[in-house]
């Protein structure tokens, strides 16, 4: 789950161009990870980002009606995909 996430937009981003996105793991503290990233057009830095994310077991989400409904929808999609010729 996202604990904190921020993006700094530094320059306008042109459309219809190939851009480079990079990310790196800055710190791994067990259940919590710190990640940073960049968006570039060639050598030009267009945006940078930082985020803190926390691992939450799937069982946590399956305790809610919404989580169970999402699980059932994915099962139906997977079953349909494996049954397709």
Q: What is the pLDDT of residues 49-81, one digit of tens each?
A: 999 999 988 888 889 999 899 999 999 999 888
- The pLDDT value recorded for residue 85 is 66
Question: How far apart (Å, rounded) are the C-alpha atoms in residues 53 and 37?
Answer: 14
Q: Which CATH number fits domain 1-54: 3.40.50.2300, 3.20.20.70, 3.40.50.300, 3.10.129.10?
A: 3.10.129.10
Q: Is the confidence at residue 46, as pLDDT, over 70?
A: yes
User: Where along the chain do its domains lie?
Assistant: 1-54, 57-85
Length of the chain counted residue by residue: 85
Sheet order of strands, 2-9 included: 2-9, 44-54, 32-41, 20-29
Q: Is the confidence at residue 39, as pLDDT, over 70?
A: yes
- The pLDDT value recorded for residue 13 is 92
What rounded mean pLDDT belongs to the chain? 93
Question: Would the pTM count as exceeding 0.75?
Answer: no
């Amino acid at each position: 789950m996202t604990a904190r996430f921020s993006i700094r937009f530094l320059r306008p981003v042109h459309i219809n161009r190939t851009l480079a996105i990079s990310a790196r793991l800055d710190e791994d503290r067990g259940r919590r990870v710190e990640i940073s990233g960049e968006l570039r057009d060639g050598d030009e830095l267009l945006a940078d980002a930082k985020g803190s994310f926390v691992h939450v077991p799937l069982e946590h989400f399956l305790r809610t009606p919404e989580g169970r409904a999402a699980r059932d929808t994915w099962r139906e999609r997977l079953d349909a995909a494996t049954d397709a010729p």
